[in-house]
Amino acid sequence: MSHAEGIRHVSDHVTEFRLIHADDTWSRRTTDCEDVKGQLSDAKLYESPTEHGVTWMVVSPIIFTYRVMQCERLLDASNDTLLFGHIFNPTELQALKTNINGIKRFIVIDDTVNKLYGSQVAAYFEARNVIYKILPLPTTEENKSMLLVTKILEEVHKFGIDRRTEPIIGGGGVCLDIVGLAASLYRRRTPYIRVPTTLLAYVDASVGAKNGVNFANCKNKLGSYVPPVATFLDRTFLRTLPRRHISNGMAEMLKMALMKHKGLFELLENDGKHLLDTSFQESEETIENMNKDAARVSTRLAIETMMEELAPNLWEDDLDRLVDFGHIISPELEMKTLPALLHGEAVNIDMAFMIYVAHETGLLTAEEKSHILVCMRGLELPLWHVDCTVDLIQKSLAERLKHSAGRLRMPLPTGLGQARCVFVRVSVCDECVFVRVSVCEDECL
């Protein structure tokens, strides 16, 4: 239904106006007006008479432009990416570079990042003569709340920022979510910059628009869709990650491989152990049958496939989202098991269960199912957890049903590297839950 058709539910007589900017003001013109001088807006205004006066309908497209950029040596004093890498306008860029005095940066990093890189972050901004404040925070899934958002906002307000003082967020996905929400609230939307320091954040949390915190014991129940002005991806931060956290991030990469890219699946299958061993760093060592570019290629493919799905549906108006694979059961499971399971581990348990569902419904062959589960084990990801009970699964599916217009619809793989969103009858799914839980408990532990 078009916007004009929508307003005709109120009245049959609808006038469509375009909006023109000239002499510092906006004015409306009917669409048949040929004398248009000034800037034409993408927004439109519809007007129609009603019984008690007039009804107006505003159609105003919201366009966000943000940059996701792979880079190296981000904290090298000669690298000005953290100062200017987010600026698209050449004139603005030149003006800032010629008048660098007075640049301010408010930096929020999680406690772990502060211990590992805090001194380097401080040295970088001091070397660039930047006025800065570093706020280290204990950002964990357990304290991912509006209380921490408020604390951040209080510190931002004390420091004093303007529209050119983009807060910089350095940390994992939890930190990016919390501080991103704070930025989206401050002055109704303050531009911000993301610097992911975990693999999961690198390939997943940092490249989209969502921010959020937990509420009422529900994961990310409060949040916003406000992307950063830029995300800077530096793989050297991954070298200090524990092996478990590398595996954790690979779950989200595997998700995109299963949904969209067989080549990425094969790369993770063949080179997964090497990537775990090297923490996605470049290796000079030559290993037989090993892809020397595995780290670079796999992260690029994971991000490309993710952004293909996110860019045209940034606000999630379309609920048929392949990127929701692994996120049906996992939110409930992750919250129930805190802090035992990491996000990617909960996602993989969800995916493993759904692999059985896909096989049960005839979407995957037994060979494909086995192939995928072997790959998951090779990436050192859990396939099951004692708290993934029948009750938890049914509760999660009921929540999905509530947000799917009364029909259970979810993304499922239909082969290696291909998928679609399918309807699953609730009765079939209920039967499958009991059967699959017992099978998974036997086969997946």
Q: Is 210 a catalytic residue?
A: yes
By three-state DSSP, how is residue 136 classified? strand
pLDDT of residue 31: 81
Q: Are 424 and 408 a contacting pair, CB within 8 Å?
A: yes
Contact 37, 20 (CB under 8 A): yes
Phi, psi of 308 (to 5 degrees): -60, -40
Angle between helices 343-360 and 366-378 (to 10 degrees): 170
CA gap 333, 214 in Å, rounded: 14
| CB 223, CB 316: distance < 8 Å | no
339: DSSP letter: T
Q: Residue 264: its pLDDT value, please? A: 98
Secondary structure (3-state) at 324: helix
Of 97, 104, 144, 210, the catalytic one is 210
Closest CA to 30 of 46, 41, 54, 11: 46
**Encoding tokens for residue 21?**
């900017």
State residue 437's pLDDT score: 59
Q: What sign results for the dihedral spanned by CA atoms 28, 32, 33, 38?
A: positive
Nearest to 190 by CA among 142, 232, 154, 226: 226
Beta-carbon contacts of residue 57 (< 8 Å; ≥ 6 apart): 3, 6, 7, 45, 46, 47
Q: Check if the beta carbon of residue 371 is closer than 8 Å to that of residue 413.
A: no
Predicted pLDDT of residue 433? 66
Q: Cβ distance 349 to 416 under 8 Å?
A: no
Which residues face 74 on adjacent strands? Answer: none
Q: Are 345 and 199 in contact (CB under 8 A)?
A: no
Q: Are 244 and 237 in contact (CB under 8 A)?
A: no
Alpha-carbon distance 85 to 93, whole Å?
Answer: 9
CA distance 204 to 339: 20
Angle in degrees, CA 288, 292, 296, rounded to 5: 155
Q: Where are the beta strands (DSSP E) in 9-93?
A: 15-22, 25-30, 39-50, 53-59, 67-70
Which residues, given as ranges, of the chain have pLDDT below 50? 10, 445
pLDDT, residue 94, reads 85
198: closest CA among 95, 331, 343, 31?
343
Sign, CA dihedral 327-332-335-336, equals: negative
pLDDT of amino acid 103: 86
